[in-house]
Amino acid sequence: MNHFLTEQEIKIRDLAREIAETHIKPVAAKYDASEDFPWEIMNILAEKDFFRIYIDKEYGGLGMGVMGLVIATEELSRACGGISLGLAGTALGVFPLLLAGNDEQKKKYLPDLAAGNYLGAFGNTEPEAGSDAGNIKTTAKKDGDSYVLNGAKIFITNGAKAKFYTITASTDPTKGSRGASIFIVEDGTPGFSYGKKYEKLGIRGSATCELVFEDCRIPQENILGKEGMGFIVAIRTFDRARPGVASQAVGIAQGALDYAVEFSRTHMRGGQAISSYQSVQAMLADMATQIEAARTLTYTVARMIDAGEKDFAKGSAMTKLFASKVAVDVAEKAVSICGSQGVTLDCPAQKILRDSKITEIYEGTSEIQREVIARHLIKESASIK
């Protein structure tokens, strides 16, 4: 369908699709099995300017906003949902800087991030705090012209591979969410180390690990915005990042459909291709319709964000909720179409299904998204009366 993409957006889409087919698809199974980090793909993405997409032009970016990132992430995820996270996870780490950083901070870090000289990551999740920055236990205590960080972050995408981290920490635990702040922490800072590396069900081509802070001293100029702004910046970061997760889910679902259609055309049952069976055709039709609906919703919200709309949190939550559900449902149908082959490790469909599940969990579970949507609906209803 025509989504009225600009000429620049079409070029990014086509280039991302070419990289996905030529470079990612042939090695997706290898990285899934080994859980190694795909530096070779990251280097290609950097060479082709993919890390510039969402960064403002004045700092070396292409200025294509959330929509550009969504288009690229979808196409890369079509070949591998895990490998695409090297780019998407960096964007998540950079969003707090784009939202709350001053010009000096942006000039210091954004040009290198745009060039793909190093990756970024966002450190928010803790054992007792997921999307809720108000429950974080990591602390940042002011000491002269520095802050001293203590605590740990878990399940961090690009952990131990990134060199640029934005970290939420409490500068005043007595204030709850109003005491949260966000800091830039560079790889190699004394007191900053990496803990457990997680072995995962899916997205195994993505690095996920624990971050540990033990009397980690960082300069006061590394705080983003002011003390107490961390919760607001974190929420705004998630609101902008969730269409990216949705686009990952759409790409994963599209990859599942692509494989299911090819499999159904080329595999025979009872002397005829299984694509000739009405039950299979019905599943393929439903899969395609679900994907198109999820893609349209995701693109619409991405456009809203880039257009400067103020109230897009509900739509952002909807994109992630719906697209992630579509990804899991479509991947399950793909496995069913493949029959007994679908549950063997040689079949790409089972990997796609494993990758799809993460989209319902990270950056706010589906349950969290429903809460966000419901709160906005209730607030909107109350404002009408």
Active site residues: 363
Token look-up 């700092």 returns 59
Distance CA 65, CA 284 (A): 33
Q: Which two tokens stand for residue 313?
A: 């949190």
* 246: amino acid identity, one letter: A
CA count, 13 A, side-chain hemisphere, 278: 0
Distance CA 49, CA 22 (A): 17
149, 216 Cβ separation under 8 angstroms: yes
Q: Which residues contact residue 29 at a Cβ distance below 8 angstroms, ignoring those fewer than 6 apart?
A: 348, 351
182, 224 Cβ separation under 8 angstroms: yes
Q: Which two tokens stand for residue 142?
A: 């002011």
Distance CA 277, CA 285 (A): 12
Distance CA 42, CA 51 (A): 9
Q: Which two tokens stand for residue 278?
A: 């009405």
Distance CA 112, CA 160 (A): 18
